[in-house]
Structures are given as structure tokens and as C-alpha cells.
């Protein structure tokens, strides 16, 4: 069941002597997070914070983090980023938790990183003859950010001095008459210009000249540059900004928000808001993430299968950080809505609650595959977890503001009309299991101030009751309660957690997803042993489904606290090994708990019939990644892949691997789409071959030729229909763990909509 454990040390004002900025922001934040060391969060969020803390201690593997700096070069182009990222996240987690094990580890990492800094201030992991190439500047800005975060919570002077030296070197290196920063990193220079945010933070704590930040701003618009501001202010959307690389674009947007704070220039905020609006409208997944394979996709193109690498953590956490910054700056509820969506779904969904392992890119359809080493996603995730205590609650317009609903306690200073007071708050709730929250306020003295309660955008009915009087709230806004408060006053919050049915949009037009409160639900394989084909299971009434609590039926091995039963229909196996469609209760779990699952459920009138391929939703691979990333084993001829990468190739192949060896008797290949410059197979040197692999480590064997495929050339565009099927039957059944089609691409590339293998 859901733990009510609170993570967070007892209020002790560990940060009361933290250093103050030397440069004043021209734009003040409207929302100020509650002091990190004076709050405790319990419930689901508190339990996941505890798991994240334990995993963070493991990932602070000092030899692995510091080796790239102590023995330059590191083993990979970005390996040096991990030290700065974990120092940044760990500093906030320590400030909140007070965990002395974590503090000791952070002290050692910070000291070693400072000791490894070059005499000239160099804070990277590249050898001297390769400085300012590849991901060097990206690694340095991560180190800069980590040291500044460590300084912000500890006040350790050597950390600020090391950051200043690194900033001075970067200022001496890049600028007019010096090196061009756009040539110092990939993604049209956006990986290098990501140092804008840390440069602003450095200026804030030193009060020194802001030349580096101003230069980065000018570099955006120089000839051949990413034209970041022009693209966003037009606007053309983030898909057409630079090369659409999501983590670097989001990092630069964070820098623009920081520069707006410092300078007061409205254009920088306007650009960031234009990007935010574009992502929410066209590029945000239902689980609160964005991008696939780290790149923004075209409008409403939101592939959900494993091969799409949905919302990798570097992009997910960048999106979460952008919403947190905009919440602080504006104090507006929609940014809290986005934080809640991301936290309860994609962020928690990436964490293995058993040991803190990380799924780099949790799919909406497929299986979460956890990693436990040092990867860019595994060291980005702790940053997202560290934001929980900074986004849950705080001060707004001289009053208390609740953004995330969780059990716990906090003490917060408020600047009331009658002078500053301290307010202690206790929150009791089982949210998100139910929508009841009881807040008990203990102001140090009787005082007048507002209380702001975020009314979630998904909520149909929300009310707050004080002294017997109920006040309704409007979804997607803060409800403001103005009152003279005294010790012991209570606010009773009741919010509706009814089910929402969400359409699948352009990527899943014949599908729906179910959401209860902030939690997206998923059809989980391990809870539905009698539903062997998740993609052939449908809610019986997709227009207005009612869920039934099924938490008492959860197996002991299940780590989640809740599941819901839903009336549905599903394709099932009969006792004779055949397939039939019938009514079946379906069990859905929160996406955060799911392991092998589907978020998108087919509508009952769109369910496919006929034999289910042995390869359905297997592991996909291909010879070239191409630029269209549909699935080739989802039983949908309208989704496809291509191998287009700008040039020809001698051979192309598409493969699907099953979980275990299967007896195969026939294979169906569906052509994807014909383009003027490719998309088919050239058969002048032979028809496409069907190959199998009998074991995972075995060689590919040709077992058949696709004779039904038409005769084609590389130059002449053939008359093929989208999704056109071609089938081959084997002369003898073959037991295999993988199947693929291999052929010569027509013109410069080929395409594949489906590759399906069937048994006897």
C-alpha cells in the first residue's frame, strides 16, 4: 500500500546562512518556493523522493564521476557532464533532506572537481588539443551549474571561485575577435550556447560583468546561426528551431528566462513563452513529456512505441525545469498543471520503485527497460526529483500557495500587510488515491493573508471549505482565499477525480487513453494474465468509462498501491489454441507503476481481427534510422519507417525480434510509402529476401524470397499503394527468435509499414 513516509529533516534552517546574490534581478519572481530545509513531503511523492535519494547516493560514484577530469580525456564525448549534473541535483536534495551521507559525498565530489580544474580555469574533460570541440562547452556549463548550486546551499567560497575562473576562461575564449561559440558544439551550436543559464547565475552571485551572457545572445542571430529568437518570435515552432534537438533548445530557453530576470527585457520571456505554447499545443505527450529520440517532431506527431524513445529524461527534465521557472516568474497555475502532469506520469514512470533504476525513455506502448549505470538520462532524472520540494508549495503575493497536493509539513515566512510572520502548515491527504485534502494552518500570530490553491485543469469539481463556507474553484487557475487566519484554522479541499477519456490524436486516431486525476492509466500485462494481446483489448464504452477500485486484488509482487477494473473486450486464446473475442475485465494501473503495458487502447469498433502475429510489438531494428519513425510491428499499416538519411545504400533491412523462439510458417511484409526519391526496393539484382535468426546471437539465414513483390528499378517510381501487403509462405516451418526483410533500396531509401510473422 501507499507509504505515508515523510522524507525531509525536521525543520532546522540549515540554509539560513546561505549566500545572497550580489546582482539584483530586475524582474522579481511572483512565486517563491518554500524553504527547502523547512518542509517534509510524504505519501507517494515522499516515498519516491526517498527512493531517489538512495539511488543518488549510488550514482555519486566518485571514481567514475571524476576520472574524466583527473585523466583527460574521458571515455566518451559527454561523460564529463555527470559530475556537474549530480552535484546540481544533489545539492538541492541535501538542502531538503539534510542527509549527511549525501552531504559528505557532495563535499568530496566538489573538492575533487575543483582540484581537477586547470590553472587557466578549464573545467572540461577534453585534452588540450581538442578543447572547444564536440561537447566540451556543454560539459563545462554542467560543471559550472553544479558548482554554483553547491555554493548556493553551502556558501563554500572555493566553489564560487572555481565557477568564476571557469566563467573568466569562457569569456576570454568566446566573443568578437575570438572563437565563435557556434562552432564549439553540435546542434547548430545550441549545445554550447546552453551555457547562457549558468552564465546568468554566475553573474547573479558575483555581480561582475555580464559579457558572456550578452555574447551568447548575439551569437544566436549571427549568419549561419540557429536564429533562436527569430524562430520563436515569428513563431515557427520548436520543430523548425535550430535542428529541433530538444535538450539543447530547452536548455537555451532556461537561459532566456534567466536573462529576462536579470535584464527585464520582455522579448526573452516572450520567446520562451512562444516555445511553451507551441510544445503544449503540438508536441506534448499525455504523460507530460516532449520529443522522441531527443528531437521535437512535426505538429502532433507523437509516436509512442519503444523504438521512438519517447521523452528521454534529458528532454523530460528540461521541460519540467522550464515549467518550474515559468511558475516562479509568473505565479500562474497552467505551469503547475504541467509540472503535476510530468511528475505523476513521465518522471515517476521512469523510476523503478524497487531500486531506483531509470528507464531512459518510458514508452506509451511497450516495456520499461531500466538502466542502473551512469548515462545522460540516469543523471538527468535526479534533477527532476530535486524539483519536487521546490515546486510543491511556496509563497505567492504575500500568501501561501499550494501547487502539488501531498501529505506533509512546512514552515514558510510570509510578508503580510501587518509585517512578516512564520506560517506552519500541515497537509493530510491520500492524493492521488482520492481528492480530499485537509490543511491545518498555524500562523505565529493572527494575520491576514491570501491562500492560493491550484485547481487542476483536469478537475471538474473543486471546492475549499473554511469555517463551514465552501468556495468553488475554476479548473486551470488558482483559487484565492482571503481571510484573517489564526492558529488551528482548517481548509477542507474536495476535488473530483473522475475519469477522463483522451483521444489518441493524429498518431493514434483509433485509440483512447484513460486518465484519473493527474494519473494516466495503462493496461498492465502482469495484471491481465488472461489478456495475451494488449493491443487487441478495448474498453467496452470508450465514451464514458467508469472504473472500479481493484486495489485489494493486486499481487504481492506488485509495487504500486492502486489498480482499477474496467469492463472491456479482448482477443483471447481458447483451450484449442485458437483465438476468440469476448468480454473481459481489464485491470489498469497508473503509468508511474506500469512495466509492460499500453496507454493507448484501441476503440472497440476499430479492433483488428484475424490471427495475431507472433512478432506483434516485438523489438524493432533497421539498417538505417531514417527520418520517419513509425512502428513496423504494431498491426497498423498506416504507420511506417523509412531509411532515408540523405544518401544511397547498397542494402536495407528491417527486423523484429520476439521474446522467445517461435515456429514461423509465413511472413507478411507491408510496403510503407512511395516518394519521388525512394521508398521501395529495387529488384534488378533480386527480389527482397526473408531471413530468420534461430538464436539471439546466431547468424541471419535466408529462408525465402518475396517473389510476389513487383519488378522494380532504382530510377522508375513504381505503382505501389501505401501499406500494400506481400506475403511469402515457407516450404518448411522454421523456429526462430527474429525475422527480417533484406533488399536493395530503390533510389536512395526503402520503407516498411509492417513485418509480421505467423505460426501454423
CB 231 within 8 A of CB 221: no
CB 619 within 8 A of CB 657: yes
659 CB neighbour count, 10 Å cutoff: 12
**Segment (H or E) for 581:** strand 579-590
β-pair type (393-396, 399-402): antiparallel
Phi, psi of 119 (to 5 degrees): -55, -30
Listed residue (51, 89, 75, 45) closest to 135, CA to CA: 75
461 CB neighbour count, 10 Å cutoff: 14
Is-cis flag, bond preceding 432, omega within 30? Answer: yes
pLDDT at residue 544, as a whole number: 64
DSSP state of 536: G
* DSSP SS3 for 526: helix
Listed residue (425, 471, 423, 478) closest to 449, CA to CA: 423
pLDDT at residue 10, as a whole number: 40
Match 516518394 to its residue by C-alpha cell: 675
List strands edge to edge, sheet with 393-396: 31-33, 393-396, 399-402, 447-455, 477-485
CB 277 within 8 A of CB 332: no
Is-cis flag, bond preceding 235, omega within 30? Answer: yes
Report how far apart the first and last C-alpha atoms of the chain are (Å, whole number).
Answer: 44
In the chain, which stretches have pLDDT less than 50? 1-6, 8-12
Give the CB-side neighbour count of residue 115, counting CA atoms within 13 A. Answer: 10
CB 365 within 8 A of CB 507: no
Match 556549463 to its residue by C-alpha cell: 141
Q: Which domains does the chain have, with CATH numbers?
A: 60-173 (no CATH), 395-495 (2.60.40), 519-606 (no CATH), 619-758 (2.60.120.260)
CA 234 distance to own-chain centroid: 27
362 vs 365, 511, 512, CA distance in Å? 9, 19, 18
502 vs 278, 593, 601, 654, CA distance in Å? 20, 20, 10, 32
β-pair type (678-682, 725-747): antiparallel
pLDDT at residue 330, as a whole number: 98
Is-cis flag, bond preceding 73, omega within 30? Answer: yes
- Gap between the Cα atoms of 90 and 105, Å rounded: 9
In 3-state terms the chain splits into helix, strand, coil percentages (rounded to 5) of 30, 30, 40
Q: Phi-psi category of 98—alpha, beta or left, where left has phi over 0 and alpha has psi -120 to 50?
A: left
pLDDT at residue 74, as a whole number: 85
∠ Cα 232 238 241 (to 5°):
70
What global pTM score does this model have? 0.93
Amino acid at each position: 500500500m501507499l507509504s505515508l513516509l515523510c522524507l525531509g529533516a525536521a525543520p532546522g534552517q540549515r540554509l539560513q546562512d546561505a549566500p545572497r546574490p550580489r546582482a539584483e534581478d530586475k524582474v522579481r519572481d511572483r512565486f517563491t518556493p518554500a524553504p527547502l530545509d523547512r518542509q517534509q513531503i510524504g505519501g507517494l511523492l515522499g516515498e519516491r523522493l526517498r527512493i531517489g535519494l538512495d539511488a543518488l547516493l549510488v550514482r555519486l560514484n566518485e571514481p567514475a564521476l571524476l576520472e574524466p577530469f583527473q585523466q583527460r580525456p574521458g571515455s566518451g564525448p559527454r561523460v564529463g557532464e555527470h559530475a556537474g549534473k549530480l552535484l546540481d541535483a544533489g545539492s538541492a536534495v541535501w538542502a531538503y533532506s539534510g542527509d549527511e551521507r549525501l552531504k559528505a559525498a557532495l563535499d568530496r565530489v566538489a573538492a575533487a572537481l575543483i582540484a581537477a580544474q586547470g590553472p587557466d580555469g578549464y573545467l572540461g574533460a577534453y585534452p588540450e588539443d581538442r578543447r572547444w570541440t564536440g561537447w566540451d562547452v556543454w560539459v563545462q556549463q554542467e560543471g559550472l551549474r553544479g558548482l554554483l548550486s553547491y555554493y548556493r546551499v553551502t556558501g563554500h567560497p572555493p566553489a564560487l571561485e572555481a565557477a568564476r575562473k571557469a566563467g573568466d576562461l569562457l569569456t576570454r575564449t568566446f566573443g568578437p575577435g575570438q572563437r565563435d561559440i557556434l562552432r564549439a558544439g553540435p546542434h547548430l551550436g545550441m549545445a554550447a550556447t546552453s551555457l547562457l543559464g549558468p552564465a546568468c547565475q554566475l553573474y547573479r552571485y558575483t555581480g561582475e560583468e555580464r559579457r558572456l551572457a550578452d555574447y551568447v545572445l548575439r551569437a544566436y542571430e549571427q549568419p549561419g546561426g540557429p536564429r533562436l529568437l527569430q524562430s520563436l518570435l515569428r513563431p515557427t515552432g520548436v520543430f523548425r528551431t535550430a535542428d529541433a534537438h530538444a535538450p539543447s533548445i530547452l536548455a537555451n530557453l532556461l537561459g532566456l528566462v534567466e536573462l529576462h530576470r536579470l535584464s527585464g527585457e520582455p522579448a526573452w520571456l516572450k520567446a520562451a513563452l512562444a516555445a511553451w505554447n507551441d510544445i503544449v499545443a503540438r508536441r506534448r505527450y499525455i504523460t507530460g513529456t516532449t520529443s522522441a529520440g531527443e528531437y521535437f517532431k512535426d505538429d502532433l506527431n507523437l509516436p509512442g512505441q519503444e523504438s521512438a524513445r519517447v521523452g528521454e529524461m534529458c528532454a523530460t527534465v528540461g521541460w519540467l525545469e522550464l515549467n518550474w521557472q515559468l511558475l516562479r516568474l509568473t505565479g500562474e497555475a497552467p505551469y503547475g498543471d504541467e509540472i503535476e502532469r510530468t511528475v505523476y506520469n513521465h518522471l515517476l514512470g521512469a523510476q523503478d520503485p524497487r531500486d531506483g533504476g531509470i528507464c531512459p525513455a518510458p514508452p506509451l506502448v511497450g516495456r520499461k527497460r531500466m538502466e542502473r549505470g551512469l548515462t545522460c538520462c540516469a543523471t538527468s532524472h535526479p534533477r527532476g526529483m530535486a524539483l519536487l520540494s521546490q515546486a510543491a508549495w511556496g509563497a505567492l503575493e504575500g500568501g501561501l500557495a499550494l501547487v502539488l497536493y501531498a501529505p506533509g509539513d512546512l514552515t514558510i515566512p510570509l510578508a503580510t500587510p501587518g509585517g512578516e510572520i512564520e506560517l506552519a502548515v500541515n497537509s493530510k491527504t491520500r492524493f492521488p488515491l482520492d481528492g480530499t485534502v485537509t490543511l491545518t494552518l498555524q500562523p505565529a500570530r493572527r494575520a491576514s493573508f491570501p491562500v492560493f490553491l491550484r485547481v487542476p485543469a483536469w478537475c471538474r469539481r473543486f471546492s475549499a471549505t473554511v469555517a463551514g463556507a465552501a468556495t468553488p474553484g475554476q479548473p486551470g487557475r488558482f483559487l484565492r482565499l482571503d481571510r484573517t487566519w489564526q492558529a488551528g484554522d482548517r481548509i477542507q479541499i474536495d476535488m473530483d477525480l473522475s475519469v477522463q477519456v483522451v483521444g489518441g490524436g493524429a498518431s493514434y486516431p483509433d485509440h483512447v487513453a484513460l486518465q484519473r486525476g493527474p494519473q494516466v492509466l495503462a493496461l498492465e500485462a502482469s495484471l491481465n494474465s488472461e489478456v495475451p494481446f494488449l493491443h487487441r483489448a478495448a474498453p467496452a464504452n470508450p465514451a464514458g468509462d467508469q472504473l472500479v477500485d481493484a486495489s485489494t486484488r493486486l499481487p504481492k509482487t506488485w509495487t504500486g498501491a492502486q489498480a482499477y477494473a474496467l469492463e472491456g473486450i479482448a482477443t483471447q486464446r481458447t483451450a484449442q489454441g485458437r483465438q476468440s473475442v469476448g468480454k473481459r475485465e481489464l485491470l489498469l494501473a497508473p503509468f508511474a507503476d506500469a512495466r509492460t503495458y499500453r496507454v493507448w487502447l484501441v476503440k472497440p469498433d476499430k479492433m483488428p481481427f484475424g490471427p495475431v502475429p507472433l512478432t506483434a510489438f516485438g523489438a524493432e531494428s533497421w539498417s538505417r534510422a531514417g527520418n520517419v519513425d513509425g512502428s513496423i510491428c504494431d498491426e497498423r499499416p498506416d504507420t511506417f519507417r523509412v531509411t532515408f538519411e540523405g544518401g544511397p545504400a547498397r542494402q536495407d533491412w528491417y527486423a523484429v525480434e520476439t521474446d522467445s523462439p517461435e515456429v514461423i510458417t509465413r511472413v507478411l511484409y507491408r510496403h510503407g510509402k512511395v516518394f519521388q526519391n525512394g521508398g521501395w526496393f529495387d529488384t534488378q539484382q533480386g527480389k527482397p529476401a526473408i531471413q530468420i535468426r534461430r538464436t539471439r546471437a546466431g547468424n541471419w539465414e535466408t529462408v525465402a524470397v518475396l517473389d510476389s513483390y513487383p519488378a522494380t528499378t532504382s530510377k522508375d517510381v513504381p505503382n505501389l499503394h501505401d501499406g500494400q501487403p506481400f506475403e511469402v509462405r515457407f516450404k518448411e516451418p522454421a523456429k526462430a527468435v527474429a525475422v527480417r526483410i533484406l533488399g536493395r533500396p530503390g533510389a536512395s531509401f526503402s520503407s516498411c509499414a509492417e513485418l509480421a510473422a505467423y505460426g501454423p
